[in-house]
């Protein structure tokens, strides 16, 4: 019988982007294991409720970034 010790360095990063009153928004979470991203998930926040997590790959996140840049380039004060 052999003894093997495994230690993982896990870092969880979360961002909550909400309206000024904090009642609605989006939560973005990322888990980093041993310096490598283990995944990114998004969920919507509506009051005390959270939606199911949506996992996106890097290509989808880059598309989301481009969409946000385009939206913010317009009249971002409306809505």
Question: What per-residue confidence (pLDDT) applies to 6?
Answer: 82
In the predicted structure, residue 76 carries a pLDDT above the cut 80: no
Query: Cα(71)–Cα(35) distance, rounded to whole angstroms?
Result: 32
pLDDT tens string 41-64: 999 999 888 899 999 888 999 999
For residues 23-41, give the mean pLDDT.
Answer: 92
Residue 22 has pLDDT above 80, yes or no: yes
Planar angle of CA 58, 60, 61, nearest 5 degrees: 65
At residue 5 the predicted structure's pLDDT band, cuts being 50, 70 and 90, is: confident
Check: pTM over 0.75? Answer yes or no.
Answer: no
């Amino acid at each position: 019988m052999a003894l093997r010790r495994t230690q993982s360095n896990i870092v969880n990063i979360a961002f909550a982007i909400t309206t000024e009153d904090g009642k609605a928004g989006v939560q973005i979470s990322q888990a980093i294991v041993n310096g490598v991203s283990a995944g990114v998930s998004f969920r919507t926040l509506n009051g005390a409720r959270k939606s199911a997590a949506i996992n996106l790959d890097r290509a989808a996140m880059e598309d989301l970034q481009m969409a946000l840049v385009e939206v913010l380039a317009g009249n971002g004060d409306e809505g």
